[in-house]
Structure 1
Amino acid sequence: MTDTTDPAVLASVLHDLSWIIQRTDRVEELGIERLPAPEVTVLKQIDRNAGIGVSALADMLAMQPSNVSAAVRTLVERGLVVKTPSPTDRRVTQLEVTDRMRRNRTRIEAAWSARITEALSRLPDEAAAQLVSAAPALMLLTNELRDRT
């Protein structure tokens, strides 16, 4: 039997849950074009770090600057990111997400929330309550892991 107090079990369950949520979302049904995982990763970091430059973003993600530049170029073409010159150094561009990206994110998160809420309603009440009450601790874990990368 699996030891559910083992952190490795939590890691595996969280990984599986993340994969299921991401792979079973139907963004196309929302009128949103699906993005490859590297572009989603770049987009999320730009959203969290408005005004970041390509080099700093590449360092943060431990990715090749050329790969980040290619992802940024595609995101700009899709209207999800804008590049503006830095006010202090015109050679450097700053990256920010667009209102379109924010609207898409809101719609995707609403769809995820609806699916998760529906799934929770099918679980025993105690299990659903435990999962919902774990959200603050999971946010702390997310921030801790994010800060370490």
Structure 2
Amino acid sequence: MATTRTDAEALAVVLHDLAWLLPRTIGAEAGRAEPLPPTALEVMRLLTRRPGRSVNEVAAEIGVAANNVSTAVSQLEARGLLARQRDETDGRVTRLHPTATAHEARQRREHSWGERMAAALSGLSAAEATRLVGALPALRHLAGDLADAEAKG
């Protein structure tokens, strides 16, 4: 089945709306438990997907000034969520990596999201919930393709 531009647009709109709604609904409780300022949250979102970026690379990828990213990185480092490591080929460059503490916090958030999503899915028909869960492989593939396109700039 060929996807029409209209179908693709409708999918993009729904996914965008969900991306906006999920942190405010199923993610709200976890966000209150371990709050992060918006820039710090964006830094962590990027670095959990693609660790090893420099401050300047992170700034360019999330569209924030390098000094704001640097401030967020310092806050995250003070909270034990990020570690700086010297680049192996260029000692002048520092690479940023989420710590074990950051990965544990992410796992707690994801568990909380799962509980809240299960409750939300229970409001749908069994067939609708099954179709949504069945779409996971395709959605993961789409997310990977979009992340690859983002990385290429």
Task: Verify same fold: TM over 0.5.
Answer: yes
Q: Deviations over 1:52-77 (max 9, x none)?
A: 21122223334322222122112112
Q: Distance in 1 between matches of 2:16 and 2:31?
A: 23
Aligned partner of residue 140 in structure 1, secondary structure: helix
Aligned partner of residue 79 in structure 1, secondary structure: coil
Q: Distance in 2 between matches of 1:87 and 1:130?
A: 46
The yes-or-no answer on 1:115 pairing with 2:116 is: yes
TM-score by length of 2: 0.82
Q: Distance in 1 between matches of 2:75 and 2:42?
A: 13
The yes-or-no answer on 1:103 pairing with 2:104 is: yes
Q: Distance in 2 between matches of 1:92 and 1:148?
A: 25
Deviation at 1:100, TM superposition (A): 1.0
The yes-or-no answer on 1:141 pairing with 2:142 is: yes
Aligned partner of residue 85 in structure 2, secondary structure: strand
Moved more, 12-21 or 132-141: 12-21
Q: Which residue of 1 aligns with 2:49?
A: 48
Q: Which residue of 2 aligns with 1:22?
A: 23
Deviation above 6 Å: which 4+ runs of structure 1?
Answer: none
TM-score by length of 1: 0.84
Q: Distance in 1 between matches of 2:145 and 2:85?
A: 30
Q: Distance in 1 between matches of 2:71 and 2:31?
A: 23
Percent identity reads 38
Aligned partner of residue 96 in structure 2, secondary structure: strand
In the comparison of the two structures, how many residue pairs are matched?
Answer: 143
Q: Deviations over 1:7-51 (max 9, x none)?
A: 22222221222222201220266xx42113322121122222222
Q: Deviations over 1:63-99 (max 9, x none)?
A: 3222221221121122110112223332211111111
Aligned partner of residue 148 in structure 1, secondary structure: helix
Q: Distance in 1 between matches of 2:31 and 2:110?
A: 14
Unaligned runs of 5+ in 2: 1-5
Q: Distance in 1 between matches of 2:31 and 2:13?
A: 28
Q: Distance in 1 between matches of 2:89 and 2:147?
A: 28
**Structure 1 residues 28 and 139 mapped into 2: Cα distance closer, same or farther (>3 Å)?**
closer
Aligned partner of residue 87 in structure 1, secondary structure: coil
Superposed CA RMSD: 1.9
Q: Distance in 2 between matches of 1:98 and 1:26?
A: 22
